[in-house]
A and B are shown apart, each in its own frame.
Chain A
Amino acid sequence: MKKYLNKNYALLGKTPPKDERFTKVARALFFNPIGHYILFGVLCYVVAYLATNKIIPDLIPYSLQSSLAISFSFAIASIGFCLLMGYSGLASLGTGGFIGIGSYSVHYVMYQAELPLPVAIVAALLVAALIGVVVGFISLRIEGIYLVILTLGLSEILRNVYMVVEDKIKVKNFELFGTLIKKQHSLYIVATLLVVVMIITHNIINSPTGRAMLAMKNSTAAAQAMGISLIKYRLLAFVICTMYAALSGVMIMITIRSIQASNASGYYALITSLNILAAVIIGGFKSIWGAVFGSFVMYGMQTAILQDIPFFAENPEFITFISGALVIIVVMFFPGGLAQLILELKAKVKVWYKKIKEGIYGKDLG
């Protein structure tokens, strides 16, 4: 195929476009969104290796792997939320409760029943899908801010159930495919699953399903007129979002290892749902990369970057203060989030580049 194309270009007397000058593998990795996700996963592996073995502790400190693992765990839930809010136009504040599904299935399957991790993941996904269907049915009747509060209520129910059933949950070191997974190795698993989730989500977004969801977001009446079944896609959106949240709960559990449900600022409370919402808004709510980056801003930045700055290390309260201010600034002045900001910057750089070129070579050659 490549040869044929090149021959054609030769016949026409043109140089082939940039991306066809590279080999197939390089093209798959560098000029393909899915390749970017895989590269990202490889990068995470390298960082995890360097951090856990303390090879360059000045540049990549040991603590970096835990802060990355936490923020990427939440990134899975954020991507699900991105699909729900950015593509289906539904909002929910139940993420905190849904995350708990994953954590509790880890506790029961891995700690109490001593079964391997994949069983816990499957159990979490099944329960989450069930709850997603319930919320999806509710969303057919109730919309907007009412749905938000209703899911908040549902999440509080789940949190109360967690508190009554088992307040403190934990998990020990476990074996996966013959290797012992300790706390510091969690970034490998989290990164792998994050990449899988990113690829699946990318495919959903760029498939008829994703387009149907977008149509539903823009106008439910028009979408129905085009033959899109509201019940199918609302259920699907909620099921995917809940399943991702549960998966994220599994990852959080194997990263943190012990969680208390009754903590008012804990992982299953309202504050987590709000943080995920903020992460998606900061990142730009239609972008997978934005969701990942937003989660890093909300959960990883404090321990990964800001703590090394002496001022913030002495006054950790300022970090909370500034992250709040950042959220408000992004919402008020950059409604598309950081993803849009980067796109705008890219366009501007292109214009400047063109202008510089014109300045050097003259207008005709530019």
Chain B
Amino acid sequence: MAYFLSTLFGSIIPMCVTALVTMAITLIFKTSFTTNFAQGVISAFGAYVVSSVMTSNGLSIWLALPAGMLVSMLIAIVIDVGIFRRGRYVNALGKQIITMGLISIVVGATPLVFGIVNPGFTPFVKGLISFDLADGNVSFPKNSLVCMAMTIVVIGAIFVLLRYSKWGLSVRATASNEYVAGMMGINTHVVTAVSWGLAGAIGALAATINASSGNTVNIYFMTNYQVFAFLAGILGGFSTFHGPVIAALMIPLANNLVQYAVNVMGRPDLTGWSMVFVYGIALVIIFFKPQGIFGKKIAKKV
């Protein structure tokens, strides 16, 4: 039981990070109709900003975080306004290639801006929570709980906004049909720009959460989560907003649970295969339900 609980608490950070990244990717996918491959590096850039603000000004991570989120948000808005708005007639594949060109730009720009440094991070809250159960000790950093609270607040706020605010309505309208939404008087330019900005800010938050939990930071350190997010997107179904996020919570949890199961069965040598197993299951589900677990079937017009 103690080991099971440790596994659960250890999954908090990956679950938070994946959920946030997936939220960002879904927002961009719904409003700009492209998968943003640059999400990972833009988020990582935000984490670099947080780190450099912390070290150069001696601020705490709480004060540096908004700076990083702001910078990522501005970068994302500049990308939308400067590139995607002008490339409206680029086809879907072309848009994806543009985001991949952005990867190279951000990867090239990071050492130019920050120099070649290993960014240092401190957790949001120091200390461990530890308690004893009948069959052992459970301990995990307090930081995880703080990160979880932040994630829940941010994602909850976005869902409330999407559901009840005027902005959310315009996002949903743009997602269902950009041209008709434009005709109905919705300023789709603003909707897309705000979605991109929001995605950038969420990405920076995700990267900072990931970095604050002690993982090594480099410009590619969010790429794995981005791959999770794409997979979660189609596993949950891109046609809704909640589907991808729920799937995003499932993927890291399933990974850790498979590792737990393998260890309990006494085959620790198999832990490396857990990701293969989870990906495999996800692909099989997608194969039989191409529109995703929560997705609605969209009739194809000929």
Contact = CB atoms under 8 A, between A and B. Distances in A.
Q: Do the two chains belong together in a single complex?
A: yes
Contacts of A148: 35, 96
Contact of A332 (B35, B98, B234, B273): B98
Interface in A292-338: 315, 317-328, 331-332, 335
A154 interface: yes
Contact of B230 (A149, A221, A328, A332): A149
Interface string B102-114: 1111111111100
A91 B109 contact: no
Given A152-B227, A331-B87, A145 B92 contact: yes
Given A149-B35, A264-B220, A274-B103, A332 B287 contact: no
Contact of A142 (B87, B94, B104, B290): B290
Contact of A271 (B103, B234, B275): B103
B216 to A, nearest CB: 10
A149 B233 contact: yes
Contacts of A250: none
B108 to A, nearest CB: 3
A317 B272 contact: no
Residues of B contacting A: mostly: helix
Contacts of A91: 93
Interface stretch (A160-168, A237-245, A356-364): A160-168
A331 B103 contact: no
B124 interface: no
B30 to A, nearest CB: 12
B181 to A, nearest CB: 20
B276 interface: yes
Contact of B104 (A85, A160, A321): A321
A20 interface: no
B260 interface: no
Nearest to B33: A145
Interface in B209-246: 218, 220-221, 223-224, 226-227, 230-231, 233-234
Contacts of A323: 104, 108
A270 B227 contact: yes
B90 interface: yes
Contact of B107 (A320, A326, A335): A320
B302 interface: yes
Contacts of B92: 144-145
A281 B100 CA distance: 12
A221 B94 CA distance: 24
A97 to B, nearest CB: 11
B229 to A, nearest CB: 10
Contacts of B218: 264
A328 B98 contact: yes
A328 B105 CA distance: 10
Interface in B250-302: 272-273, 275-276, 279-280, 282-283, 286-287, 290, 302
Contacts of B220: 264-265, 271
A220 to B, nearest CB: 10
Given A91-B93, A152-B230, A335-B94, A327 B104 contact: yes
A264 B106 CA distance: 16
A317 B103 CA distance: 13
B283 A150 contact: yes
A331 B98 contact: yes
A5 B262 CA distance: 78
B101 interface: yes
Nearest to A328: B101
A146 interface: yes
A264 B217 CA distance: 12
Contacts of A14: none
Nearest to B274: A160
A323 B97 CA distance: 12
Given A149-B230, A320-B107, A321-B109, A270 B223 contact: yes
A350 B153 CA distance: 65
Given A264-B224, A317-B109, A332-B83, A157 B98 contact: no
B37 interface: yes
Contacts of B272: 160, 163-164
A277 interface: yes
A279 to B, nearest CB: 10
Interface string A123-149: 000000000000000100110111011
Contacts of A274: 37, 100, 103
A231 to B, nearest CB: 16
A319 to B, nearest CB: 7
Interface string A220-245: 01000000000000000000000000
5 contacts: A142-B287, A149-B234, A160-B273, A320-B104, A324-B105
In the A-B complex, the 5 residue pairs with the closest CB atoms: A324-B104, A321-B108, A320-B108, A327-B101, A164-B272
Interface of B: 35, 37, 83, 86-87, 90, 92-94, 96-98, 100-112, 218, 220-221, 223-224, 226-227, 230-231, 233-234, 272-273, 275-276, 279-280, 282-283, 286-287, 290, 302
Given A146-B286, A154-B283, 20 more contacts: A91-B93, A153-B230, A153-B231, A156-B231, A157-B276, A270-B37, A271-B103, A281-B93, A281-B97, A320-B105, A321-B109, A323-B108, A324-B102, A325-B105, A327-B97, A328-B98, A328-B105, A331-B98, A331-B101, A332-B86
